[in-house]
Chains A and B, each alone.
Chain A
Amino acid sequence: MSWDPEALRGTPVNPDAAISVRGLTKRFGDFSAVDGIDVDVPRGQVFGFLGPNGSGKTTTIRMLTGTIAPQAGQALVLGEDVIRHPERAKRRIGYMSQKFALFEDLTVDENLRFYAGVYDLPPERFAAQRRYVLEMADLIGRENELTANLSVGWRQRLALGAATIHDPELLFLDEPTGGVDPVARRQFWDLLYDLASRGVTLFVTTHYMDEATHCNRLAFIYRGRLIAEGSPQQIRRDFISQRILEVSVGDPDAALQWLEQAEGVAEAYLSGASLHAVIGSGAQGRDELAPWLTGRMREAGFADVRAVEVDPTIEDVFVNLVSRQP
């Protein structure tokens, strides 16, 4: 394993990073929502913060935006100590939540004006910023439309516009793509890449594992602790010692039952019309693994079986890491 979860522990916080956190901890009663996190988020990156519901993602964001105070740890955001001086970074960061926090009975323009006020945008800068945001979100001509009448995809883009009206250096996005369709979701990611290309750092939480491929760098959080960190490619390569075979067979139901019992198969599950068999790190070489399994399956009566080794998905890695947690 090339990643050391304790590599940053005890090292000083890094003022050059967009976010730098050491030992960050938040308890609610006897429940540790965030349990000693150490992480550095470099500037200008799309940083994905992945984990299931209840794993501590939102609590982390609320501490980093200065909304709630941690019990322990240090946190620098854009070089400012957000625990001691939560106000200092406020004008330089933006925040967008899944709930979009837009006023449905206000127009597009009125929502933008409201957020310009919230973020203390100087009035002389509003016209230019408003124009930029309307163009980015493709909302030109809809300035006077009621927000309630916009589709989910439009509202999502307006919410992004509202969160960036003050031209922040760092943007927190908490589950920004929940409940939108694949097309709107991809258009939204195109917009995020535009922001990133202008140097904005993006800190994005999601429980959609497939969205991880959109990020330059990822951290997995599980039960308040970081269990992996790296680029999507590194995570797929370094964090799973198991290998995955895609198995095609005429009777996948029967084959699934066989695989669930088979020796050397750690896990098997349906993936579309085929099956994925997770094989523990055995001695088989690159070209030996598929014949090893298909040979045994033919003996078991699956005459038409075919298998090919495939790359693990981010979700495969996550499931594997979680199953190894104490």
Chain B
Amino acid sequence: MTSPPAVRTEALSCRFGEIQAVDEVSLEIPHGAVFGLLGPDGAGKSTLIRMLATVQRASSGDAFVFGSSVTREPHRVTPRLGYMSQRFSMYPDLTVAENIDFFATLRGVPRAERLTRAASLLTSMGLAEFAGRQAGRLSGGMKQKLTLAVTLMHQPDLLLLDEPTTGVDPVARREFWRILAGLHRGGTTVLVSTPYMDEAERCTDVAFMEAGQIRHRGSPQQIKQLVPGTLLEVAAENPREALAVVRRAPQATSVHLYGDLVRVLWASGADVKELDRWLSGQGLTATVRPIVVDMETAFAFLADVGVGGGEPR
């Protein structure tokens, strides 16, 4: 008998009056995945996460966490998950150690385990020296780490993280992901929403959500391979002139300016050297180099060439 996936949703929907926040999402998250949920504000990411966390009722459909229904048996679901919402939800006037102890008590963690786990979490997150500091006086990055520590005290099998790194500085952001990598090694399944496309690259699976629906889904590698053609970067003395010249090339499927450089998606099958010839044929001196497709570029170019839906805006 195979064990059920960490998360399975079946036509999961949530409606707020006129607004269809989550629209029949069917999705599976395997055990041990670091699953990245991407999409703009208002796409429905938080609502989807809140339904999995059993704090928001589904309008229709259902979701199963380790095989248990979030609508019919939430009491089986909650002990196995840790949920971190977007807002800082610790008591600002309690210390770091007091917050951890208080929330672990609510989660029913026995006293003896509370002390040893708190000590090891504080150490591994670099919070030990701040144990006596009031939570309200921590920096943004440390607040996020404290919240994560609190979320981990009852050793959940599934972590639901709603934009844990938004606005956190890049150094703290990297450290946060290092901690997630450690949890991933230990077998925890992680569902994390983020507006940062570079964080998507650190996930094992990603889904791009928009208007309540999942538009693309796959490993970062698979998503990038959907981009048809080669991404090239053109450097020229006059970037605007280069932009106009490249736009006229028949093999150019999508062309945009990035600062002083022009990025062009060169049709698959077309020889990259043809761009050099096109540029010199138009009397332009420029250097062309292929660049690696990152996730942000992938999603933007996928929309341009119309792969996998996405209505015009």
Binding site for B on A (CB under 8 A): 46, 51-55, 151-154, 178-187, 189-190, 193, 197, 207-210, 213-216, 231-233, 253, 256, 269-273, 315, 318-319, 322-323
CB distance from B274 to the nearest CB of A (A): 25
Known: A46-B259, A322-B171. A270 touches B181 (CB 8 A): yes
CB distance from B18 to the nearest CB of A (A): 10
Further pairs besides A152-B42, A319-B171: 19, Cβ < 8 Å? A52-B167, A52-B172, A53-B169, A54-B140, A180-B41, A182-B303, A183-B299, A190-B256, A209-B198, A210-B198, A214-B258, A215-B259, A216-B259, A231-B259, A232-B259, A256-B181, A270-B177, A270-B202, A273-B221
Is B102 located at the chain interface by the 8 A CB criterion?
Answer: no
CB distance from A260 to the nearest CB of B (A): 8
**Which B residue's beta carbon lies closest to that of A207?**
B167
Query: Do A179 and B259 have beta carbons less than 8 Å apart?
Result: no
A51–B14 alpha-carbon span in the complex (Å): 36
11 residue pairs of the A-B complex, CB under 8 angstroms, read A181-B39, A181-B210, A182-B296, A185-B296, A189-B256, A208-B196, A210-B294, A213-B259, A233-B260, A269-B174, A322-B170
Query: Do B181 and A253 have beta carbons less than 8 Å apart?
Result: yes
Query: Do B177 and A52 have beta carbons less than 8 Å apart?
Result: no
**Which B residue's beta carbon lies closest to that of A154?**
B313
Query: Do A182 and B300 have beta carbons less than 8 Å apart?
Result: yes
| Residues from chain B with Cβ under 8 Å of A253 in the complex | 181, 184-185
**Which B residue's beta carbon lies closest to that of A209?**
B170
| Residues from chain B with Cβ under 8 Å of A152 in the complex | 40-42
- Tally inter-chain residue pairs, CB-CB below 8 A: 112
Is B90 located at the chain interface by the 8 A CB criterion?
Answer: no
A152–B43 alpha-carbon span in the complex (Å): 10
Is B220 located at the chain interface by the 8 A CB criterion?
Answer: yes
Contact with A along B133-170 (1 / 0, CB 8 A): 00000011000000000000000000000000001111
| Residues from chain A with Cβ under 8 Å of B300 in the complex | 182-183, 185-186
Is B257 located at the chain interface by the 8 A CB criterion?
Answer: yes
A215–B259 alpha-carbon span in the complex (Å): 5
Contact with A along B249-285 (1 / 0, CB 8 A): 0000000111111000000000000000000000000
Is B76 located at the chain interface by the 8 A CB criterion?
Answer: no
Most buried by B among A181, A186, A272, A315: A181
| Residues from chain B with Cβ under 8 Å of A187 in the complex | 313
Partner of B177, one of A53, A178, A193, A269: A269
**Which B residue's beta carbon lies closest to that of A208?**
B196
Query: Do A190 and B257 have beta carbons less than 8 Å apart?
Result: yes
| Residues from chain B with Cβ under 8 Å of A154 in the complex | 313
CB distance from A42 to the nearest CB of B (A): 14
